[in-house]
Amino acid sequence: MLAVVRKPRIRVSAKVIPEKLLDFLKENFGGVEIEPETYAPEDIPELVEAREMTSPGEAIYLDRDLRGMTQAELAEKLGVAVTVVSDMENNRRPVSRKMAVKLGEVFGTDPAAFFKF
């Protein structure tokens, strides 16, 4: 989904845009255009290159932060302790294939982003 405010230029792109954010944009900036997503992040070369240079921990942090999720919220969705999420984000704990799949499901992304072969 894509939400665009023309002036000032604001563009929000996410699989799901929270209603509170859309309401805020409408109240403060007027016209908000909402379009279905027309591309996948994997189709943008710059994002693919950035993803390849990102550690699994950084990828977890970025995806979590992008969605406005706390470590506690992510830990609950994954069924693990908050310390596990913290350790993975700080690259103190490797991300297993099983955990990469869970992360992919929670974030709606490719599990390979969270697992280095």
Are residues 56 and 21 part of one domain?
Answer: no
**Domain that residue 69 falls in:** 43-114
- Core vs surface per residue 50-63: b (16+ CB within 10 A) or e: ebeebebbbbbbbb
Residues 13 and 69 in one domain: no
pLDDT at 87: 96
pTM, two decimals, is: 0.59
Q: What is the pLDDT of residues 52-106, one digit of tens each?
A: 778 899 889 988 888 889 999 999 999 999 999 999 999 999 999 999 999 999 9
Kindly list the distances between the CA atom of residue 44 and the CA atoms of 48, 53, 54, in Å, as whole numbers in the listed order.
6, 15, 16
Do residues 98 and 68 share a domain? Answer: yes
